[in-house]
Amino acid sequence: MQKFLASALARGLAWQLGGWLVGAGMVTGIRLLMGLSPLGLFFFTEPAWVFGGFLGVLAFVAGSRIVDDWTKWAKGEQIPDHRDDPPGWGKYIGVSLDHKVIGIQYTITSLLLLVVGGSFALVFRTELSRSGMQFLSLQWYNTLMSLHGIGMIIGILLGVAGVMNYLVPMLIGAQDMAFPRLNAFSFWIAVPAVVLLLSSLALGGFDTGWTGYPPLSARGPVGTQMFFLGVFTAGWSSILGGLNLIATTLRLRARGMTAFRMPILVWAALATSLITLTATQLIGLSFQLVVFQRLFGMGFFDPAKGGNPVLFQHLFWFYSHPAVYVFVLPGLGVISELLPVFVRKPLYGYRWIAMSSLGIALVGFLVWAHHMFASGMNSYLQVPFMYSTLLVAVPTGVKFFSWVATVWKGKIDMPTPMLFVLGGIVVFLLGGLSGPPNATVATDLHLTDTYFIVGHFHDTIFGGYVFPFFAAIYYWFPKATGRRMDEKLGKLHFWLMTPSFLTLTLLMMRVGLLGMRRRIADYDPALGFDGYHLLMTIAGYLIALSVAIFLFNLFRSIKRGEKAEGNLWNSRSPEWQVSSPMPAHNFDEPIEVVGEPYDYGLAGSQYTRFVQAAQNKDLHS
């Protein structure tokens, strides 16, 4: 307990609360002096909550002492290159500079947030199981629906960051990230962001959906502001994390690892990071403009003042469409990374796969307005955006061809990670095939804002992120702990989740085609959707059960899992050539790359070797 109270986490949270109250108090005091009403609906007024929330984030940073080294640097003091972590679990709630610890911190935070966001879905899914309002008010329905969306999105972003942080330095044979302190900062800034986001529950909620379109978001309750502020803060985590990954990949690769000898996951991380580094600024800006519109009456999106609500949608989707590629590209990278290991064959079309990640990321910058076909934007924009969107199918198709060709005539091994890889491919295919009808203007005008979109979206994200994420955890868990997760429970998890999930999304698409609107709390019983919705709700609960089994398996295996210290999956990747759990500085002997990464099954081929061992061999020969 004492260890917890003294940790960076506990101190940061306490300071955040303090900073919040001080900031809110300051604004309230100023309002009193100016003769404005000092108190509002939720005790403090909206400006007080917003300024307090902002100050709270700064206070978290100060209280958790994540910037201590930088202040020392500014004072002209010497700072060490490395800091060793204390033994035990304490390092996971303290400031660590080790990318492996930070990766696990990200992953745990992500899982927590995904569980919270997922349970919100269960609550409103229960409400939807029958027509008519059962137990939720309209405002609560909207709030839970909105928070499910943004909670899952931030959760996935943190999960993506976790996977990339943990793996990229290992996969390129580096000791750590290029900027370890910035890496720690990127993780820790996400913690106050999550607190801000969830605080909207207590401040009237927000009923705009995660997209936060004005004019609705310009007049909702104070909770809307907390949502904006939370996402804005979390954005910094994404931006700085992306910066770090790009610099790491470009500067710290092992000797001999040329661009086309990098693991596919590293290519995917690079493509992802290009998006998070640049586009994230635009969602931050768009949210900031709404915050200012609410606080100072600046009429960016207010037609009465000459503003333009559609401008918000352009700025917002410029990030928020590429954001889905941020979710899926690392997942697709995991699929390409694991497939050759379990079919014992070379990855088919390595260069094409590497380039397709970059291709998706770059084309992804040019497709945003396909979310706005029904928004009243200029109609001449519709056709170009339709074609650019359809173009995304080309590099994505390249990936599918490669996966099919890789599996073709392979000797397939089916442990749990491989099940999730194959499940991910199938589900992502469904998501991909249901995409083009939304991209073509004529069909989209019928489908937009229906449950068809909801089904399509969940298919892409489960196939592109959730399944590969689970595969990655089952696969690399031994690398982090030296033990493996239980196979039986893993298989139960998969066989419970996959059919339930397919039932859920296929029914979503079905009711969507029949005219079920998305984001609404109730539907007309005469539409005859009651039975479908009941089935979807049951499927939702089964998914939750399977995730509960996964979490049980995860936490049990940390201490009680079967020992697995060697190269468990018989992989060629550098991180499996050293012991598990990974040594503190990854590779005590530097490695160098001497061959192709995915030449599985080719006799005598080698990907990496230790520089030291190679030199000794040269001496003896």
Partner 1 sequence: MKLPDKASALQQGVIIFVFLAVLTALEFLIAVAIETIALLAVVAVMKVGLVAYYYMHIHKLGEDAGEDRHSVAYRTATSRLGLWLFLLSDSFVFGGLAVARFNLLGFTRPHLSQVLGLAVTSILLLSSFFMNRAEASMAHDDRKGFGIGMVVTLMLGIAFVAGVLGVEWPTAIAEGVSPSASAGGAIFFMMTGMHALHVITGLVLLGIVWRNGSRGLYSADRHWAVEAAAVYWHFVDVVWIFFYPALYLVGRVA
Site for partner 1 in 568-587 (CB under 8 A): none
Of 238 and 481, the one with the shorter C-beta distance to partner 1 is: 238
Minimal distance in Å, beta carbon 69 to partner 1? 14
Minimal distance in Å, beta carbon 400 to partner 1? 32
537 near partner 1 (CB under 8 A)? no
DSSP three-state, residue 85: coil
In the list 52, 63, 284, 574, the residue contacting partner 1 (rule: CB under 8 A) is 284
Minimal distance in Å, beta carbon 354 to partner 1? 21
Of 301 and 477, the one with the shorter C-beta distance to partner 1 is: 301
DSSP three-state, residue 592: strand
In the list 90, 215, 256, 299, the residue contacting partner 1 (rule: CB under 8 A) is 299
305 near partner 1 (CB under 8 A)? yes
What whole-number distance in Å separates Cα of residue 489 and Cα of residue 54? Answer: 43
Of 238 and 460, the one with the shorter C-beta distance to partner 1 is: 238
In the list 140, 179, 352, 541, the residue contacting partner 1 (rule: CB under 8 A) is 179
Minimal distance in Å, beta carbon 203 to partner 1? 24
Non-local CB neighbours of 512 within 8 Å, separated by 6+ positions: 447, 450, 451, 452, 453, 454, 455, 518
Minimal distance in Å, beta carbon 402 to partner 1? 30
In the list 131, 139, 211, 281, the residue contacting partner 1 (rule: CB under 8 A) is 281
247 near partner 1 (CB under 8 A)? yes
294 near partner 1 (CB under 8 A)? no
306 near partner 1 (CB under 8 A)? yes
285 near partner 1 (CB under 8 A)? yes
What whole-number distance in Å separates Cα of residue 76 and Cα of residue 53? Answer: 31
Minimal distance in Å, beta carbon 378 to partner 1? 11
Residue 98: phi and psi, rounded to 5, are -80, 125
Of 3 and 72, the one with the shorter C-beta distance to partner 1 is: 72
Bridge partners (DSSP) of residue 249 are none
Of 300 and 529, the one with the shorter C-beta distance to partner 1 is: 300
Minimal distance in Å, beta carbon 250 to partner 1? 6
Non-local CB neighbours of 455 within 8 Å, separated by 6+ positions: 434, 505, 506, 507, 508, 509, 512
Cα torsion 368, 369, 374, 375: sign: positive
Minimal distance in Å, beta carbon 596 to partner 1? 23
Non-local CB neighbours of 205 within 8 Å, separated by 6+ positions: 139, 140, 142, 143, 146, 147, 221, 223
43-44 and 483-484: which strand pairing? unpaired
308 near partner 1 (CB under 8 A)? yes
Site for partner 1 in 227-246 (CB under 8 A): 239, 242-244, 246
What whole-number distance in Å separates Cα of residue 246 and Cα of residue 74? Answer: 25
Structure tokens at 135: 């137990």
608-610 and 591-593: which strand pairing? antiparallel
**How many chain residues are in contact with partner 1, going by CB under 8 A?**
40
614 near partner 1 (CB under 8 A)? no
Total Cβ atoms within 10 A of residue 132: 10
Of 297 and 604, the one with the shorter C-beta distance to partner 1 is: 297
Residues 59-78 vs partner 1: string with x where CB under 8 A? ---------------x-x--
- Segment near partner 1 (CB under 8 A); pick from 117-125, 305-313, 460-468, 555-563: 305-313
What whole-number distance in Å separates Cα of residue 429 and Cα of residue 166? Answer: 28
Residues 317-336 vs partner 1: string with x where CB under 8 A? -x------------------
Minimal distance in Å, beta carbon 175 to partner 1? 9
Q: Token match 């969602």: residue? A: 283
Minimal distance in Å, beta carbon 173 to partner 1? 11
Asked if omega into 340 is within 30° of 0 (cis), the reply is: no
* Long-range residue pairs from 575-584, CB within 8 A, at least 24 positions apart, any chain: 575/167, 575/170, 575/171, 575/479, 576/479, 577/608, 577/610, 579/482, 580/478, 580/479, 580/480, 580/481, 580/482, 581/479, 581/480, 581/481, 581/482, 582/100, 582/170, 582/479, 582/480, 584/84, 584/85, 584/98
In the list 66, 178, 353, 485, the residue contacting partner 1 (rule: CB under 8 A) is 178
Minimal distance in Å, beta carbon 478 to partner 1? 29
Torsion angle of C-alpha atoms 41, 46, 52, 53, degrees rounded to 10: 100
What whole-number distance in Å separates Cα of residue 550 and Cα of residue 579? Answer: 25
Minimal distance in Å, beta carbon 262 to partner 1? 17
Of 78 and 621, the one with the shorter C-beta distance to partner 1 is: 78
- Segment near partner 1 (CB under 8 A); pick from 127-135, 294-302, 387-395, 483-491: 294-302
80 near partner 1 (CB under 8 A)? no
- Segment near partner 1 (CB under 8 A); pick from 26-34, 225-233, 286-294, 435-443: 286-294
Structure tokens at 96: 């660590």
298 near partner 1 (CB under 8 A)? yes
User: Can you state the percent helix, strand and coil of the chain, rounding each to 5?
Assistant: 70, 5, 25
- What is the gyration radius of the CA atoms in the chain, in angstroms? 25
Q: What angle do CA 180, 186, 192 make, to 5 degrees?
A: 140
In the list 126, 211, 278, 577, the residue contacting partner 1 (rule: CB under 8 A) is 278
At what angle are helices 487-513 and 451-461 packed, to 10 degrees? 160
Minimal distance in Å, beta carbon 447 to partner 1? 28
What whole-number distance in Å separates Cα of residue 340 and Cα of residue 354? Answer: 15
Residues 476-505 vs partner 1: string with x where CB under 8 A? ------------------------------
Minimal distance in Å, beta carbon 392 to partner 1? 21
252 near partner 1 (CB under 8 A)? yes
Q: Answer for the pair 155, 110: CB distance below 8 angstroms, yes or no.
A: yes
In the list 282, 328, 353, 419, the residue contacting partner 1 (rule: CB under 8 A) is 282
Q: Answer for the pair 168, 242: CB distance below 8 angstroms, yes or no.
A: no
Which residues lie near partner 1 (CB under 8 A)? 74, 76, 178-179, 182, 239, 242-244, 246-247, 250-252, 277-282, 284-286, 289, 292-293, 296-300, 302, 305-308, 311, 314-315, 318
